Chain A
Amino acid sequence: MTGPTTAVRKVRLGWSVRRLIAQIENELSDDFLILLLDAMRLALAIDPAYHRNIEYGGDVFNATYVFKSKDGGVKVTARFEPVRILLFKRQRLRVRKGAAKTFDVEITFLNAKALWEFLLAEDPDVFAFILDNKLQTQGNLNYVMKFGYMANRLKHLTKLGTATA
């Protein structure tokens, strides 16, 4: 029963956070989260191997993720959905500000600072986050798992330099 939260910890996206700090400095907004998600969006669009995560065999991945902070500082929706390009239907990630009302999973941080702490920590203690009320999830935890894998993979890809920078 402890597994689901693992993934949350893995939603670290720590790969480029340090670079982003320089850009965003102390601004605690949702911009940086959007930047991170944009990287994922691009990778899905241009790296065929990575794209398989949302379209493989007969499986297509349709899902809505909402990232929020309780203080209202962060509200981001990431939606995996089909888009029609001429005759082809293709899966893509769409990122937008604001929180969708319906979602598969919603990840809520206490405030933007908690999100920062979580993303910046080398090895964040997810249980401490949950017990300190800094983090909670609502909805299907397996979606968190999958997202965790994709984020991890993305980190890996960027390190190898095969995905977009």
Chain B
Amino acid sequence: MSRMLLAPDAALEALSKRSLEESPRLHRLKTGYLDIIERRNGKGVEVCVERALLITKSMRAPENARDPMVIRRAKAINDYLSNREIHFHDDNLLAGATTSKEMGAPVYPEFLGMSIWPELDQISTRTSNPQKLSAEDAMALNLEVFPYWMDKTVLERTRTRLTQESSDTLLALDLMERVSFFINGGGAVISHTVPYFQDVLKHGLLKMIDEATRMEHAASGAVSPDAAAKAHFYRAMQISMHGILAYANNLRDKADRLGLETMRDVLTQVPAHPATSFHQAVNALWLCHVAILAENVNMAMSPGRLDQILYPYYCMDAEKCTTHESKQQLIDRALELIGCLWFKIADNTNLVPESAEKMFGGAGSVPAVTVGGIDRQEEDAVNDLTYLMLKATQMLSIRDPNVNARLHLDKNPPEYQEWIAQTILKTRAIPAVYNDEVVIASLVGQKIKLEDARDYAIVGCVEPTTSGQSFAETSAILLNLTAAMDMTLNEGNRPPLELEGHNPINPHFISLEGIDTFEEFLAAFRLQLEFLVDQSVSLANALGESHRDWLPSPLLSCFFCGPMTHGKDLTDGGATYNSSGATHVGFADVCDSLNAIEWLATRYDEDEDRDENPFEVMRDAVAHDFEGYEELRQLILAQAPKFGSLSSNGHGNIAQRNAQWLITLLFDLYQHKDNARGGVYRPAFWTMTNHAGLGQVGRALPSGRKAKQVFSSGITPVSQSAKDLLAAYNAVGGLCRLDHEVGSVKYPIPGGIALNMKYTPFFHSLDNPHYVKGFRDLITGYFGAGGMQVQFTVQDYGTLLEAKEHPERFPDLIVRVSGYSAYFKDLNEAMQNELITRSQYDLFARKAVLLNQTKGESS
């Protein structure tokens, strides 16, 4: 692809200089948005109960009770979409909204919506991230909605079934409810995927309904055991899509009544009929996204490669432009529409109970948009929209959508690299950057066709999946690796926890007394890790079966490759590709723990006077939280090898070897596990804010980390430990793409990584070509070293400390947690501390500026 209207360098240059003030509409929308974010002028985030009420009413209706679940579900979604209130809160050019509130948190009682039940009376007034809820709405949830769902959530349906079957998986459920072993996302969401919008834009919903109708008739006439089920599924697809049409009609009627002619005309065409302009395409896509959120939780439902999907419609408009003026108008209009779409995508947030705030707070709904990279034919895919989307991102500088930039070092033009760097330096956080070569190779390693792999987009935080084809359920497992370390040191137990009937928790363990070598310790650790992987997979699969049985997704299935052909719901394996994601907390902390143990064992080995067992010494030190072992702790911190410091003391290779061992072990463990949809699990390393939350309740670790300290984020080296920036990049790059194949694996992290880098901001950095070039060189160097992903927070210790102290001074300061972006003020204290202590690198010196060197500077 190449630039079209932006082809002249002058046009691109002019675009780069655009400011928000030059787009009055976007400026107004931004002001309104900030009012909500900063809770000014009586505005703020509101809980929206409309979805919960209407869907519950439909599910309660006796006339629907005998329908198959897939049809009941479709009817409920249809009822909601058809009967929603219609509001136009502002002069956004696009019609449709996720909720009836300006910024709403929808309630999904079929998942975790009931977790706010105890706080219904306080959620409006709590100190951290209040979400407004009227007394009347609260009572409706209490009396009408929640009682219906008490026994019907995914988690409780699963518990009931496992109990009836006396399943071994009950242990896994118990472990999950102890919070700190692993968390299965299936109880909270199914979403975490990238839909396929091309069909609705190209053909319109009416044609898609016709197709589903035809398929239903064909299935009804067939004599096969699953004919009836298929027919029901096709029927459910039609019902779902009719719901979207009804919603669009209601929007059009209201637009008409209000005299909004352009909007009315757009809605007359789409989404029923094919889009014939950029405006129509954007609105059609947005309406379908809204409908998807009516059915599935607004968490990490990711629109995908918008610069590719929407480009044909931009071109339709561009071809009509003959004069310089008309071209300029189209660029302006397109930029405005993209800005409007960004605000629409940001119009919702998650419903979060207070204790979850405290533990895991600050999350948005993380809709990921992906731009750039190469296309299915391996050609440069960067086009006008890529730049316009990056520009809109710069101008708005808001948390959502989570914008991700793909970068192909050979195919993408240098000016695109420049734009990525400029956008990050302007927003100080956005976008995250992905290495096409490594991501594509990693996906091909997952038996994904090369062309499909090239068409990858990011889900949620950082997870690459093929667009619209891969039902990736990337949040299936979040596993705390430090739990396996605890259990290794404690003979399969995890004091002080006791599980009735399970002592030790894992009956298979190797006692440290009998261990002589580090290799034996690794074997002992492996036993515990395998146990936790087995447990978490068994529960994730049980939840997957509940999704299939109780929460089919016929509407989302309409916007996916596979279900229409196979006559199967997504939750039943209807997609072309089926996988699940397993991500990990505490990776670097566990690596450094292994390093410290190996280091200590070697020291004891070399010292003939020592006859203690170093593994037991380490266990005792950790059990005492290093009380009485401070000297050992200091030596570990000073001398033991650290992940991310390849060569600092000649031990670097040990750290890299242990990291590779852990990465390839996890790859092996998961790749042999089937999920409920016939796919396999893909290991990943991103942690949102869980590394902070779990860290603050975690016990000490052999790495020298004391109890209740945050863990390192994603795949990032432990804070303050990796002092050489290039070494850190090389270390991570060397894990995404191994130097040598291990087994037959070269790309062992198909699920994605989040590498957090914090750079010292430079005064007027954008005007300093050395800074911008240095910034770019480091990204390309890291990608050359095998790096898959990197994301930046361009802030220094002092500013973040001040922002913690005085949140009111920094209401819209955006930072990177492990994956998405967040407003610093929204984060809980542990996560704020993690961001503050995260190594800050001086981009010119390529060295970490250590926190203890800068103390006092902030005042």
* B121-144 residues at the A interface, CB under 8 angstroms: 121-122, 142-144
Inter-chain contact B178/A131, CB cutoff 8 Å: yes
Judge whether A23 is part of the interface by a CB distance below 8 angstroms: no
How far is B122's CA from A10's CA once the two chains are assembled, in angstroms?
A: 11
Contact with A along B200-216 (1 / 0, CB 8 A): 00000000000000000
Chain B residues with Cβ below 8 Å from A56 are 143-144, 147
Q: Is the interface of A mostly helix, strand, loop or mixed?
A: helix
Judge whether A90 is part of the interface by a CB distance below 8 angstroms: no
Stretch at the interface among A33-41, A81-89, A122-130: A122-130
Q: Beyond A10-B118, A145-B117, is A2–B143 a contact (Cβ under 8 Å)? A: no
Stretch at the interface among B43-51, B152-160, B387-395, B802-810: B152-160
Inter-chain contact A142/B114, CB cutoff 8 Å: yes
How far is B693's CA from A1's CA once the two chains are assembled, in angstroms?
A: 13
Inter-chain contact B697/A3, CB cutoff 8 Å: no
Inter-chain contact A133/B356, CB cutoff 8 Å: no
Inter-chain contact B149/A142, CB cutoff 8 Å: yes
Stretch at the interface among B184-192, B327-335, B625-633: B184-192
Inter-chain contact B144/A57, CB cutoff 8 Å: yes
Inter-chain contact B355/A133, CB cutoff 8 Å: no
Q: Beyond A2-B356, A6-B356, is A145–B114 a contact (Cβ under 8 Å)? A: yes
Judge whether B179 is part of the interface by a CB distance below 8 angstroms: yes
Q: Beyond A52-B143, A53-B142, A132-B496, is A6–B118 a contact (Cβ under 8 Å)? A: yes
Contact with B along A119-147 (1 / 0, CB 8 A): 00000001110111100110111110110
* A9-30 residues at the B interface, CB under 8 angstroms: 9-11
Inter-chain contact A148/B118, CB cutoff 8 Å: yes
Chain B residues with Cβ below 8 Å from A132 are 496
Inter-chain contact A142/B153, CB cutoff 8 Å: yes
How far is B497's CA from A131's CA once the two chains are assembled, in angstroms?
A: 6
Judge whether A116 is part of the interface by a CB distance below 8 angstroms: no
How far is B117's CA from A61's CA once the two chains are assembled, in angstroms?
A: 15
How far is B61's CA from A61's CA once the two chains are assembled, in angstroms?
A: 19
Q: Beyond A6-B356, A133-B496, is A1–B183 a contact (Cβ under 8 Å)? A: yes
Which size bracket describes the interface of A in this complex?
A: 35 or more
| A147 → B minimal CB distance (Å) | 8
Inter-chain contact A9/B150, CB cutoff 8 Å: no
Stretch at the interface among A71-79, A92-100, A149-157: A149-157
Judge whether A115 is part of the interface by a CB distance below 8 angstroms: no
Chain B residues with Cβ below 8 Å from A52 are 143
How far is B354's CA from A5's CA once the two chains are assembled, in angstroms?
A: 11
Inter-chain contact A4/B119, CB cutoff 8 Å: no
Inter-chain contact A6/B697, CB cutoff 8 Å: no
Chain B residues with Cβ below 8 Å from A145 are 114-115, 117-118, 146
| B646 → A minimal CB distance (Å) | 35
How far is B176's CA from A136's CA once the two chains are assembled, in angstroms?
A: 12
User: Tally of A-B residue pairs with Cβ under 8 A?
Assistant: 117
Chain A residues with Cβ below 8 Å from B117 are 7, 142, 145-146, 148-149
Q: Beyond A1-B183, A57-B144, A130-B178, is A142–B150 a contact (Cβ under 8 Å)? A: yes
Instruction: Determine the residue in chain A with the shortest Cβ distance to B353.
Output: A6
Q: Beyond A6-B118, A133-B497, is A1–B156 a contact (Cβ under 8 Å)? A: no
Chain A residues with Cβ below 8 Å from B185 are 1
Instruction: Determine the residue in chain B with the shortest Cβ distance to A4.
Output: B115
| A19 → B minimal CB distance (Å) | 22
Chain B residues with Cβ below 8 Å from A152 are 118-119, 121-122
How far is B142's CA from A127's CA once the two chains are assembled, in angstroms?
A: 25
| B500 → A minimal CB distance (Å) | 8
Inter-chain contact B697/A127, CB cutoff 8 Å: yes
| A66 → B minimal CB distance (Å) | 14
| A51 → B minimal CB distance (Å) | 11
Instruction: Determine the residue in chain A with the shortest Cβ distance to B117.
Output: A145
* B96-122 residues at the A interface, CB under 8 angstroms: 112, 114-122
Chain B residues with Cβ below 8 Å from A4 are 115, 155, 177
Inter-chain contact B116/A3, CB cutoff 8 Å: yes
Q: Which residue of B119, B184, B355, B498 is within 8 Å of A2 (Cβ)? A: B355
How far is B144's CA from A4's CA once the two chains are assembled, in angstroms?
A: 20
Inter-chain contact B179/A5, CB cutoff 8 Å: yes
Instruction: Determine the residue in chain A with the shortest Cβ distance to B163.
Output: A139
How far is B432's CA from A152's CA once the two chains are assembled, in angstroms?
A: 43
How far is B185's CA from A141's CA once the two chains are assembled, in angstroms?
A: 16
Inter-chain contact A133/B119, CB cutoff 8 Å: no
Judge whether B236 is part of the interface by a CB distance below 8 angstroms: no
Q: Which residue of A3, A126, A131, A139 is within 8 Å of B180 (Cβ)? A: A131
Chain B CB count within 10 A is highest, among A1, A145, A156, for A1
How far is B120's CA from A69's CA once the two chains are assembled, in angstroms?
A: 28
Inter-chain contact B150/A140, CB cutoff 8 Å: yes
Q: Beyond A56-B143, A127-B179, is A6–B119 a contact (Cβ under 8 Å)? A: yes
Chain B residues with Cβ below 8 Å from A7 are 115, 117-118
Q: Beyond A57-B144, A127-B697, A156-B121, is A5–B153 a contact (Cβ under 8 Å)? A: no
Q: Beyond A1-B185, A2-B356, is A57–B143 a contact (Cβ under 8 Å)? A: yes
Judge whether B813 is part of the interface by a CB distance below 8 angstroms: no
Inter-chain contact A1/B187, CB cutoff 8 Å: yes
How far is B693's CA from A126's CA once the two chains are assembled, in angstroms?
A: 13
Inter-chain contact B121/A143, CB cutoff 8 Å: no
Inter-chain contact A131/B147, CB cutoff 8 Å: no
Chain A CB count within 10 A is highest, among B142, B144, B183, for B142
Chain A CB count within 10 A is highest, among B120, B176, B184, B360, for B120
Instruction: Determine the residue in chain B with the shortest Cβ distance to A146.
Output: B117
Inter-chain contact A6/B355, CB cutoff 8 Å: yes
Chain B residues with Cβ below 8 Å from A141 are 155-156, 177
Contact with B along A44-64 (1 / 0, CB 8 A): 000000001100110101000
Q: Which residue of A6, A59, A136 is within 8 Å of B115 (Cβ)? A: A6
| B100 → A minimal CB distance (Å) | 23
| A52 → B minimal CB distance (Å) | 6
Judge whether B284 is part of the interface by a CB distance below 8 angstroms: no
Chain A residues with Cβ below 8 Å from B176 are 1
How far is B197's CA from A9's CA once the two chains are assembled, in angstroms?
A: 43
* B629-680 residues at the A interface, CB under 8 angstroms: none
| A110 → B minimal CB distance (Å) | 9
Inter-chain contact B355/A9, CB cutoff 8 Å: yes
Chain B residues with Cβ below 8 Å from A5 are 177, 179, 355
| A81 → B minimal CB distance (Å) | 16
Chain A CB count within 10 A is highest, among B116, B118, B184, for B118
Chain A residues with Cβ below 8 Å from B91 are none
Instruction: Determine the residue in chain B with the shortest Cβ distance to A49.
Output: B139
How far is B138's CA from A52's CA once the two chains are assembled, in angstroms?
A: 14
Judge whether B359 is part of the interface by a CB distance below 8 angstroms: yes
Chain B residues with Cβ below 8 Å from A140 are 150-151, 156, 159
| A107 → B minimal CB distance (Å) | 12
How far is B118's CA from A109's CA once the two chains are assembled, in angstroms?
A: 20
Chain B residues with Cβ below 8 Å from A61 are 147
| A141 → B minimal CB distance (Å) | 7
| B123 → A minimal CB distance (Å) | 11
Instruction: Determine the residue in chain B with the shortest Cβ distance to A131.
Output: B697
20 contacts between A and B (CB under 8 A): A1-B112, A1-B188, A2-B359, A3-B355, A5-B179, A5-B355, A6-B355, A10-B119, A59-B143, A126-B355, A127-B359, A128-B697, A131-B180, A131-B496, A140-B156, A140-B159, A142-B146, A142-B153, A143-B150, A151-B118
- By Cβ-Cβ distance, the 8 closest A-B pairs, closest first, are A3-B115, A148-B118, A10-B118, A145-B117, A2-B356, A6-B355, A6-B353, A7-B118
- Besides A1-B188, A2-B183, A141-B155, 17 other A-B contacts (C-beta < 8 A): A2-B356, A2-B359, A2-B360, A3-B116, A7-B115, A9-B355, A53-B143, A59-B143, A127-B697, A131-B180, A142-B146, A142-B149, A142-B150, A145-B114, A146-B147, A149-B118, A152-B121
Residues of A within 8 A of B (CB): 1-7, 9-11, 52-53, 56-57, 59, 61, 126-128, 130-133, 136-137, 139-143, 145-146, 148-149, 151-153, 156
Residues of B within 8 A of A (CB): 112, 114-122, 142-144, 146-151, 153, 155-156, 159, 176-180, 183-185, 187-188, 353-356, 359-360, 496-498, 697
